[in-house]
Amino acid sequence: MIYDSSPHHPLTPTDLEVPLRMRRLRELGLGEQPDPEFDDFARKLTEVTGAPYAMVNFISEDRQYFAGLHTVAKGDPSASPGRVMDRDHGYCPHVVVRRKALVLDDVCDYPRFAGNPVVDEIGIRSYLGAPLIDRTGTTLGTICVVDVEPRPWGRPGLETIKAMAAELITQIHRREDSR
């Protein structure tokens, strides 16, 4: 676990919902493999927000899995996130535990978030994410967009990411109901 050097708070929050989430993800058949529908949804996120990276992310006890991933970033392809990331990398674990959307126009403005490994390893400077809370009340994961430049997401970004999360949850519920 990574710690913030100032007040010694864990940078990655403790997630007490992991067992429930893992059981629910298994029921839904999610979070273990790439999903073309989620890749399409991530593509849509990049189009709607103009961000270079978008993910549909399911989080376990020790890792994050991007079942949906899209990038329009130019330059070094190795800078693009792969499908798996440690749980202590990035901001989605905070969104899952908080059960609320998170808007970071410039991650460097927030000491708690500026020290995250994705800042140095991938160059992430801004983040916009929302939780995927299903009909059982379980937070399955997140959707998010990130950029290597600061972005003024503001209230419009917050409303957009929340609406997109609701849209994806509806899609997941339809998929479950059609089984």
Task: Look up the CATH number of the domain holding residue 125.
Answer: 3.30.450.40
Residue 6: is its pLDDT beyond 80? no
> Is 66 contained in some domain?
yes
pTM for the model stands at 0.87
Task: Supply the mean pLDDT for the chain.
Answer: 87
Whether the Cβ atoms of residue 110 and residue 104 lie closer than 8 Å to each other: yes
- pLDDT tens-digit readout, 143-153: 999 999 999 99
The sign of the torsion formed by the CA atoms of 84, 14, 97, 133 equals positive
> Is 63 contained in some domain?
yes
Residue 7: is its pLDDT beyond 60? no
Q: For residues 57 and 29, what is the distance between their CA atoms, to the nearest angstrom?
A: 14
Place of tokens 């429930």: 20
> Is 8 contained in some domain?
no
> Is 79 contained in some domain?
yes
> Is 65 contained in some domain?
yes
Q: Which amino acid is at 175?
A: R
- pLDDT tens-digit readout, 116-131: 778 777 788 899 999 9
Place of tokens 């989080």: 59
> Is 7 contained in some domain?
no
Total of domains in the chain: 1
Query: Domain range holding 109?
Result: 18-177
User: Which residues are within 8 A (CB) of 143 and not within 5 positions of it... i.e. 6 or more apart?
Assistant: 41, 42, 45, 54, 55, 56, 57, 68, 129, 130, 132, 161, 164, 165, 168
Q: Exposure pattern of 137-170 as b/e (b: 16+ CB <10 Å)? A: ebbbbbbbbbbbeebebeeebbebbeebbeebbe
More confident residue, 28 or 76: 28
Instruction: Write out the two tokens for 143.
Output: 């959707």
> Is 120 contained in some domain?
yes
How is 36-98 classified by DSSP, letter by letter? HHHHHHHHHHHHHH--SEEEEEEE-SSEEEEEEEEE---S-GGGS--SEEETTSSSHHHHHHH
Closest CA to 144 of 109, 107, 174: 107
Instruction: Write out the two tokens for 131.
Output: 């939780």
> Is 60 contained in some domain?
yes
